[in-house]
Structures are given as structure tokens and as C-alpha cells.
Structure 1
Amino acid sequence: MSAPTSPADLYRHSLRLLLDKDIAAWVALFAEDAVMEFPFAPDGMPRRLEGKEAIAAYMRPYPDHIDLHDFPDVRIHRTTDPRTVVVEMRGVGLLVESGAPFDMTYVAVVTVRDGRISSYRDYWNPLAVQASGTGFTGGAR
């Protein structure tokens, strides 16, 4: 089965892949020249990843730090650009190292080109995970 191509369906598919902890398949949804940005990243953390390989390297350790169980509140808003959606959501699970609850709210602006994610701006609070002591500040994207 091929991946969906509408921005909303592609994003919903990406969330299923994250819950399955299939980071390789999640990264495969990105264009080779995709850009992932974290506008609220603290000093010393990446604010911009350029290219699929950089995104893959950043996300590869995600399941070792955050065990996602669900995205209970996902709202996808279409924009005047049919290639772009704005997503409000919540990710819940556990922090792997401590077993502490993980509950994060996200807002993402996602643009799709030719059936692949070309731009992903992730507006979340990396300080919340940083304070948990996991050392990982990668978002759910």
C-alpha cells in the first residue's frame, strides 16, 4: 500500500508510524531536500535540519527515549495553500529511562510536495523534555 498524498492523510499516516516506532518509514515520508525546523529550540539544540539524512539522524534515537502510546487530540486545519496543514495535537506515553509519564502538546506546520513532506515546522516546548533528564529533545514529527 502506498503512502497517502494529501497533507492531512499523510500526516495521519506519519502519526501511525511514530506509534509503531517505525522511524525509518516515518523518515521515508520526507522529500530528499526536506527541511525540519524547531523555532523554539533552546541554545545548543538544532533549530533547522536540512535534508532527509539529517532528519533521519536526528529522529533515529527517538524510540529509545520516548515511548509514544497515543495521539489523543489531533486537529488538522487546512490552509489557503492546499499543500500546507497546521496540526494541533497531543502526544502521550512514557519516558523510557525513568518510566515517567510523557504528555506534550504540539503545533506543527507541514507542507507536502509531490506526496512527500517538504517542510515541517515543529512548535513545541523542548524544555519540558529536557527538564525530564532524557537528554533527548526531538519532537514527534
Structure 2
Amino acid sequence: MAVTVTSREIVRQMLRAGRETDIETFVGLMAPDGYLEWPYRPPGVPARLRGRAEIRRHLTEVANGFVRFDEYCDVVMHETTDPEVVIVEYEAHGTVVPTGAPIQQTVIAVFRVRDGQVLSYRDYINPIPLVEALASITGT
């Protein structure tokens, strides 16, 4: 008998892979033509990455160089009337890698999961902490 993995469990796996900087697991959970999107983002962050190769390339280039998130706190998952859609709220606590400064980020993310793969991951981050962290590194 096949075990069905829920959309909620796929989202848990995706969040864990992101926090642990496990790029291969993260990318493997994406649908081949799935996309990662940041509607609110600091300058220099792309609006959308589509497909596993593009997502892997971006995450590999930026994964350990800028911000490392160590803990996600107050994680709340909201299931919707659409079984494919899961909305997650959480606080991400981490470190600005080049300076060692702490960073706290408020996140609301909307996932669409079908057949165990993430079709879309819209990450509604608060861009202000990232802009401030970038300014602390570049001095601008």
C-alpha cells in the first residue's frame, strides 16, 4: 500500500531543507518546472526562478554567502479549501554571514503542492532586514 505524503508534510520538508541549506533536497522537492518567487524583495534578488536548474544555480551561488537561518520560530501552517495550497507564517532567526550580526526575518509563504512536488513557492519576506543586512556589509 502506497503512503500518501500530504501537502503539509512536503512544506515541512521544504522548510527544513531551506533552513539546513540542503539545496539538493530543496530542489528535489520542486516540480521540474516549478517556481520560487519573491513578490517583495530587496534589490538584486530576482522576482522569480523557474525550474530546478535555475533554482539550484541561484541557491548554490547565494546559500552560504549572505544569510544563514538557524531557527524558524512560531511556525503556523494554514491549510486552505484547496488541498494543494498551504500557507505558512514564521519568524526566521539567523546570522548575517560576513558580519556575524543577528538577523530576524518575518515570513509568510504560500505553497502549491501537487503529487508530492512543489509547483510554486511564493515567499513573502519582509525585505527591510535583508536590505539592512546588505547595507551592513557594503557600507551603503
TM-score (norm 1): 0.84
Q: Deviations over 1:56-75 (max 9, x none)?
A: 12222222222221111110
Give the distance between the partners of 1:15 and 1:82, measured in 2 at CA: 18
Distance change in 2, residues 1:67/1:41 (3 Å): closer
Greater helix share, structure number:
2
Q: Which amino acid aligns with 1:121?
A: R
| 1:94 corresponding residue in structure 2 | 95
Any residues of structure 2 matched to 1:1-141 within 5 Å, and which? 5-42=5-42, 44-60=44-60, 61-133=62-134
RMSD: 1.8
| Long gaps (5+) in structure 2 | none
Q: Which amino acid aligns with 2:38?
A: F
Give the distance between the partners of 2:49 and 2:90, measured in 1 at CA: 22
Identity of aligned residues (%): 36
Q: Which amino acid aligns with 1:86?
A: I
Distance change in 2, residues 1:120/1:91 (3 Å): same
SS in 1 for 2:65: helix
Deviation beyond 4 Å, 4+ runs, structure 1: none
CA shift for structure 1 position 44: 4.7
Q: Is the 8 A contact 1:5 1:116 kept in 2?
A: no
TM-score (norm 2): 0.84
SS in 2 for 1:94: strand
Distance change in 2, residues 1:129/1:110 (3 Å): same
SS in 2 for 1:107: strand
Q: Which amino acid aligns with 1:36?
A: L
Give the distance between the partners of 2:36 and 2:112, measured in 1 at CA: 11
CA shift for structure 1 position 127: 3.5
